[in-house]
Amino acid sequence: MPVVNIINIKKQFQDQEVIKGMDFQLSERKCIALLGANGAGKTTTLKMLAGLVKPDSGSIVFEGAEKADFRRLIGYLPQFPVFYEWMTGNEFLEYAGQLAGLPKSEAKDRAKELLELTGIAEAKNRRIGKYSGGMKQRLGIAQAIIHRPKLVMLDEPVSALDPFGRREVLELMDKLKKESAILFSTHILNDAEEICDEILFLHNGELVESGTLTGLRTKHQQAKIDLAFKENTLQYAEELSLLQPVSSMKLDGEYASFFVEDIEYARELFLTEIMQRNLPLVKFEISRTRLEDVFMKVVQK
């Protein structure tokens, strides 16, 4: 069941078209990554979904928002969260929980639970003004999920974190996936690859590609074979590239990379040729398309 339906939203700042018509759907208990380079429009998209920026046209329809305020259904972590510096972490969470509609006692319990879960329990009675960047990020995540929203939107939740923090937050998101839909933006492809079901590629304000991780891999699969010879790599590579299935070849310093259509067939063909001619092979490696390659490919279109 979709949690939210986004239909052809557009946004312009001054005369710059930042979002150029975007459609997508978010479903329950799915984790979706919004991928894109700096300035692609990730933050603007999330702000529109959170109601902080109004789209110029198009619509954003939350399931169940006809009856109640849609803000009950969402939790949002801005890219650079700012808090009331004079509050303690615990006070802020209780405040956020109560504003989100939790009764006071429940807000207290949830605050306690989330302080533990996000690993800032020991700083809970310190003023937020004295928190480090990573601690604020964790507090930001905690306030976003305190009311158990159906859709959690996180704008670069792990960019400000150290490797341990990153690990912890990714694990937290993995758990969160069981109760809520998650939409998070990142430009770190590894993070998306690790916990996401679906991926939206944003480029210059347009969705250039989207789909499930496996779907995208299959679609953009472009098997690559790296080859190196003891000597004359260039000459041999050029001879090999004359063989039929090679779609392109790239010489990269010591070795040559072949992009081929059918990896099994190409392997067979190359190896036979190399054996027959007894070429001085030193490296033969088959590598599969990673998300990064898909990203590069769709962005260059």
Partner 1 sequence: MNQWMTLFKKEMLEMSRNFKWIWVPLTFIMIAVKEPLTLYYMPQIIDSLGGLPEGAVIELPVPSAGEALAASLSQFNTFGVLIIVLITMGTIAGERKSGVAGLILVKPVSYAWFVTAKWASSMILIWISYFLSYFLSWYYVGVLFEFISFMDFLQSFFVNGIWLTLIVTVVILFNTFMKSPGAVGFISIGIIVILSILSSSLPHLLEWSPALLSAYANAFIMGSNLPDELLPSIIVSVIMITLSLLASIAIFKRRELA
Ligand X SMILES: Nc1ncnc2c1ncn2[C@@H]1O[C@H](COP(=O)(O)OP(=O)(O)OP(=O)(O)O)[C@@H](O)[C@H]1O
Residues at the site binding partner 1, with contacts judged by CB under 8 A: 47, 50-54, 68-69, 71-72, 74-76, 78, 80-84, 86, 95-96, 98-101, 140, 143, 147
Among ligand X, Mg ion, partner 1, none, residue 11 binds (CB under 5-8 Å by kind): none
Contact status: 43 vs Mg ion (CB under 5 A) = yes
- Which string of x and - marks every residue 242-281 that binds ligand X (by CB under 6 A)? ----------------------------------------
Look at residues 199, 201, 136, 202 and name the one whose alpha carbon lies nearest to residue 169. 136
Contact status: 186 vs ligand X (CB under 6 A) = no
For Mg ion, the nearest residue by Cβ is 43
Cβ proximity to Mg ion, 115 vs 182, nearer residue? 182
Cβ proximity to Mg ion, 46 vs 111, nearer residue? 46
Considering only residues 51 through 90, tell me which ones interact with ligand X, judged by CB under 6 A: 79
Contact status: 18 vs ligand X (CB under 6 A) = yes
Among Mg ion, partner 1, ligand X, none, residue 41 binds (CB under 5-8 Å by kind): ligand X
Cβ proximity to partner 1, 52 vs 234, nearer residue? 52
For the bound state, the minimum distance from the C-beta of residue 108 to partner 1, rounded and expressed in Å, comes to 13
Which residues are bridge partners to 35 per DSSP?
186, 201
Size of the site for ligand X (CB under 6 A): 12
How far apart, in Å, are the Cα atoms of 90 and each of 21, 67, 75, 119, 149? 40, 31, 18, 13, 20
Size of the site for Mg ion (CB under 5 A): 3
For the bound state, the minimum distance from the C-beta of residue 207 to ligand X, rounded and expressed in Å, comes to 13
CA angle 94, 97, 98 (to 5 degrees): 85
Selected range binding Mg ion among 76-84, 89-97, 247-255, 271-279, rule: CB under 5 A: 76-84
**Residue from the set 8, 23, 39, 239 that interacts with ligand X by CB under 6 A:** 39
For the bound state, the minimum distance from the C-beta of residue 70 to partner 1, rounded and expressed in Å, comes to 8
- The footprint of Mg ion (CB under 5 A) covers 42-43, 79
- The footprint of ligand X (CB under 6 A) covers 13, 18, 36, 38-44, 79, 187
